[in-house]
Amino acid sequence: MFKRPLRKSGQSLSEPTLTRPTPSITPFALIKRMSEMVEERMGKKLAVIPELCSGCHICELACAAEHFGVNNPKKGAIRVVITYPHPVVRMPIVCSQCGVPMCAEACPVGALTREGTVVELDKNACISCMKCVEACPFGAMYAHDDLQHPIKCDLCGDRPPQCVENCPKGALRLIPEQALGESRRMNNVLSYAHMREIEFMEKGEKKIIHYAEIGKEELQGD
Protein backbone atom coordinates (compact mmCIF):
# COMPACT_ATOMS: atom_id res chain seq x y z
CA MET A 1 0.00 0.00 0.00
CA PHE A 2 1.26 3.48 -0.92
CA LYS A 3 2.10 5.65 2.10
CA ARG A 4 2.26 9.42 2.19
CA PRO A 5 5.67 10.80 3.15
CA LEU A 6 5.93 11.90 6.76
CA ARG A 7 6.30 15.60 7.46
CA LYS A 8 7.93 17.35 10.32
CA SER A 9 5.97 19.52 12.70
CA GLY A 10 5.17 22.91 11.15
CA GLN A 11 6.14 21.77 7.65
CA SER A 12 3.54 21.87 4.94
CA LEU A 13 3.49 19.82 1.80
CA SER A 14 2.86 22.08 -1.14
CA GLU A 15 2.09 20.99 -4.66
CA PRO A 16 4.89 21.73 -7.15
CA THR A 17 4.28 24.76 -9.29
CA LEU A 18 4.05 23.95 -12.98
CA THR A 19 5.43 26.59 -15.31
CA ARG A 20 5.14 26.67 -19.09
CA PRO A 21 8.58 26.98 -20.71
CA THR A 22 9.16 30.03 -22.84
CA PRO A 23 9.63 29.04 -26.49
CA SER A 24 13.25 29.48 -27.51
CA ILE A 25 12.55 29.28 -31.24
CA THR A 26 9.93 30.91 -33.41
CA PRO A 27 7.59 28.80 -35.56
CA PHE A 28 9.23 30.17 -38.71
CA ALA A 29 12.70 29.25 -37.47
CA LEU A 30 11.45 25.81 -36.45
CA ILE A 31 10.02 25.15 -39.90
CA LYS A 32 13.24 26.37 -41.49
CA ARG A 33 15.34 24.09 -39.28
CA MET A 34 13.09 21.12 -40.01
CA SER A 35 13.52 21.80 -43.73
CA GLU A 36 17.30 21.94 -43.28
CA MET A 37 17.24 18.63 -41.40
CA VAL A 38 15.28 17.01 -44.23
CA GLU A 39 17.80 18.35 -46.75
CA GLU A 40 20.70 17.06 -44.65
CA ARG A 41 19.10 13.64 -44.46
CA MET A 42 18.27 13.57 -48.17
CA GLY A 43 21.72 14.79 -49.16
CA LYS A 44 22.64 17.10 -51.99
CA LYS A 45 23.52 16.68 -55.63
CA LEU A 46 25.53 18.68 -58.10
CA ALA A 47 23.22 20.12 -60.74
CA VAL A 48 24.65 21.03 -64.14
CA ILE A 49 22.93 23.73 -66.22
CA PRO A 50 24.72 23.55 -69.58
CA GLU A 51 22.88 26.48 -71.15
CA LEU A 52 24.63 28.74 -68.63
CA CYS A 53 28.10 27.28 -69.20
CA SER A 54 30.49 29.63 -71.02
CA GLY A 55 33.21 27.02 -71.49
CA CYS A 56 35.72 29.00 -69.41
CA HIS A 57 37.07 25.85 -67.66
CA ILE A 58 37.33 27.68 -64.32
CA CYS A 59 35.55 24.76 -62.66
CA GLU A 60 38.35 22.43 -63.79
CA LEU A 61 41.03 24.74 -62.41
CA ALA A 62 39.20 25.24 -59.11
CA CYS A 63 38.82 21.48 -58.64
CA ALA A 64 42.49 20.76 -59.39
CA ALA A 65 43.63 23.54 -57.06
CA GLU A 66 41.39 22.29 -54.25
CA HIS A 67 42.45 18.65 -54.42
CA PHE A 68 46.02 18.79 -55.70
CA GLY A 69 47.14 22.37 -55.22
CA VAL A 70 48.03 22.73 -58.89
CA ASN A 71 46.92 24.90 -61.78
CA ASN A 72 46.22 21.97 -64.09
CA PRO A 73 42.69 21.42 -65.43
CA LYS A 74 43.55 17.84 -66.39
CA LYS A 75 43.67 17.00 -62.68
CA GLY A 76 40.14 18.24 -62.09
CA ALA A 77 37.28 15.82 -61.46
CA ILE A 78 35.07 17.85 -63.79
CA ARG A 79 35.66 18.38 -67.50
CA VAL A 80 33.88 20.75 -69.85
CA VAL A 81 33.15 19.12 -73.20
CA ILE A 82 32.80 21.61 -76.05
CA THR A 83 31.63 20.61 -79.52
CA TYR A 84 32.20 22.59 -82.72
CA PRO A 85 31.53 24.04 -85.20
CA HIS A 86 27.79 24.73 -85.00
CA PRO A 87 25.97 24.79 -82.74
CA VAL A 88 28.57 25.16 -80.03
CA VAL A 89 27.66 22.97 -77.06
CA ARG A 90 29.33 23.29 -73.67
CA MET A 91 28.63 20.46 -71.24
CA PRO A 92 30.36 20.04 -67.86
CA ILE A 93 30.85 16.31 -67.26
CA VAL A 94 31.10 15.32 -63.60
CA CYS A 95 30.27 12.28 -61.46
CA SER A 96 26.52 11.77 -61.07
CA GLN A 97 26.97 9.92 -57.74
CA CYS A 98 24.82 7.11 -59.17
CA GLY A 99 22.44 5.20 -56.95
CA VAL A 100 23.87 1.93 -58.26
CA PRO A 101 27.36 2.99 -59.39
CA MET A 102 28.88 0.91 -62.16
CA CYS A 103 32.33 2.07 -61.08
CA ALA A 104 31.81 0.40 -57.71
CA GLU A 105 30.58 -2.79 -59.34
CA ALA A 106 33.69 -2.89 -61.54
CA CYS A 107 36.13 -2.39 -58.66
CA PRO A 108 37.67 -5.76 -57.73
CA VAL A 109 38.62 -4.68 -54.20
CA GLY A 110 35.57 -2.67 -53.13
CA ALA A 111 37.43 0.63 -52.99
CA LEU A 112 34.35 2.53 -54.17
CA THR A 113 31.35 2.68 -51.87
CA ARG A 114 28.29 4.86 -51.63
CA GLU A 115 28.20 6.93 -48.44
CA GLY A 116 24.98 8.91 -48.23
CA THR A 117 24.61 10.56 -51.61
CA VAL A 118 28.31 10.45 -52.49
CA VAL A 119 30.22 7.57 -54.06
CA GLU A 120 33.55 7.67 -52.25
CA LEU A 121 36.94 6.30 -53.26
CA ASP A 122 39.10 4.67 -50.59
CA LYS A 123 42.60 5.39 -51.83
CA ASN A 124 44.12 3.03 -49.27
CA ALA A 125 42.17 0.13 -50.75
CA CYS A 126 42.54 1.18 -54.40
CA ILE A 127 44.95 -0.96 -56.44
CA SER A 128 45.11 1.51 -59.37
CA CYS A 129 43.65 -0.90 -61.91
CA MET A 130 41.50 1.93 -63.36
CA LYS A 131 38.64 -0.45 -64.10
CA CYS A 132 36.30 2.11 -62.57
CA VAL A 133 37.39 4.69 -65.14
CA GLU A 134 36.57 2.26 -67.93
CA ALA A 135 33.26 1.28 -66.34
CA CYS A 136 31.81 4.77 -65.85
CA PRO A 137 29.14 5.06 -68.56
CA PHE A 138 29.41 8.84 -68.65
CA GLY A 139 33.16 9.24 -68.79
CA ALA A 140 33.09 11.09 -65.47
CA MET A 141 36.09 9.40 -63.84
CA TYR A 142 39.56 10.27 -65.02
CA ALA A 143 43.11 8.95 -64.96
CA HIS A 144 46.27 11.04 -65.03
CA ASP A 145 49.82 9.84 -65.65
CA ASP A 146 51.12 11.66 -62.57
CA LEU A 147 48.53 10.15 -60.23
CA GLN A 148 48.33 6.67 -58.78
CA HIS A 149 44.58 6.77 -58.20
CA PRO A 150 41.65 7.72 -60.44
CA ILE A 151 40.23 11.22 -60.23
CA LYS A 152 36.65 11.31 -59.01
CA CYS A 153 34.34 14.02 -57.69
CA ASP A 154 33.78 13.84 -53.92
CA LEU A 155 31.76 17.09 -53.71
CA CYS A 156 34.77 18.52 -51.82
CA GLY A 157 33.90 16.65 -48.64
CA ASP A 158 32.79 18.99 -45.87
CA ARG A 159 33.62 22.11 -47.87
CA PRO A 160 31.37 23.75 -50.45
CA PRO A 161 32.22 22.34 -53.90
CA GLN A 162 34.81 24.64 -55.37
CA CYS A 163 33.48 24.26 -58.90
CA VAL A 164 30.16 25.67 -57.68
CA GLU A 165 31.81 28.42 -55.66
CA ASN A 166 33.95 29.60 -58.57
CA CYS A 167 31.66 29.22 -61.58
CA PRO A 168 31.11 32.79 -62.82
CA LYS A 169 27.90 31.93 -64.66
CA GLY A 170 26.13 29.79 -62.06
CA ALA A 171 26.13 26.77 -64.36
CA LEU A 172 26.93 24.47 -61.42
CA ARG A 173 24.78 24.36 -58.32
CA LEU A 174 24.56 22.21 -55.22
CA ILE A 175 20.91 21.51 -54.50
CA PRO A 176 18.89 19.07 -52.36
CA GLU A 177 18.67 15.68 -54.02
CA GLN A 178 14.89 15.78 -53.89
CA ALA A 179 14.80 19.14 -55.68
CA LEU A 180 16.81 17.77 -58.58
CA GLY A 181 13.69 15.92 -59.60
CA GLU A 182 13.19 13.25 -62.20
CA SER A 183 11.35 15.67 -64.49
CA ARG A 184 14.29 18.08 -64.69
CA ARG A 185 16.78 15.32 -65.29
CA MET A 186 14.60 13.74 -67.95
CA ASN A 187 13.14 16.65 -69.84
CA ASN A 188 15.47 19.63 -69.80
CA VAL A 189 19.01 20.16 -71.01
CA LEU A 190 19.33 17.95 -74.07
CA SER A 191 17.65 20.03 -76.72
CA TYR A 192 21.17 20.50 -78.04
CA ALA A 193 22.62 18.92 -81.11
CA HIS A 194 25.38 16.35 -80.54
CA MET A 195 24.04 15.59 -77.06
CA ARG A 196 21.88 12.62 -76.36
CA GLU A 197 19.52 11.38 -73.69
CA ILE A 198 20.72 8.02 -72.41
CA GLU A 199 18.34 5.66 -70.65
CA PHE A 200 19.33 2.47 -68.89
CA MET A 201 18.10 0.21 -66.12
CA GLU A 202 19.53 0.27 -62.64
CA LYS A 203 19.24 -2.68 -60.31
CA GLY A 204 15.73 -3.04 -59.01
CA GLU A 205 14.27 -2.22 -62.43
CA LYS A 206 14.32 1.50 -61.71
CA LYS A 207 14.62 3.58 -64.86
CA ILE A 208 16.83 6.62 -64.66
CA ILE A 209 17.90 9.17 -67.22
CA HIS A 210 21.37 10.58 -67.48
CA TYR A 211 23.08 12.75 -70.04
CA ALA A 212 26.31 11.95 -71.82
CA GLU A 213 28.22 13.21 -74.80
CA ILE A 214 27.65 11.50 -78.12
CA GLY A 215 29.37 8.16 -78.51
CA LYS A 216 27.84 6.08 -75.71
CA GLU A 217 25.83 3.90 -78.10
CA GLU A 218 26.17 0.84 -75.90
CA LEU A 219 23.88 2.47 -73.33
CA GLN A 220 21.12 3.41 -75.75
CA GLY A 221 17.85 1.87 -74.61
CA ASP A 222 15.79 -0.38 -76.83
**What sign results for the dihedral spanned by CA atoms 159, 163, 169, 171?**
negative
pLDDT at 80: 93
pLDDT at 115: 85
- DSSP alpha helices (H): ranges in 47-161? 58-68, 102-106, 131-135
| CA separation, residue 106 to residues 4, 42, 109 (Å) | 72, 26, 9
147, 138 Cβ separation under 8 angstroms: no
Domains along the chain with CATH numbers: 42-178 (3.30.70.20)
pLDDT at 178: 62
Phi, psi of 106 (to 5 degrees): -80, -20
pLDDT at 88: 77
Phi, psi of 181 (to 5 degrees): 70, 135
pLDDT at 28: 64
For 219, residues 6+ apart whose C-beta sits below 8 A from its C-beta are 137, 198, 199, 200, 212
Kind and range of the H or E run holding 209: strand 206-213
How confident is the chain (222 residues) per 10-residue block, as mean pLDDT?
54 52 60 55 75 93 96 95 78 88 95 91 96 92 95 92 95 75 39 38 40 35 37
pLDDT at 51: 84
Using a cut of 0.85, tell me whether the model's pTM lies above it. no
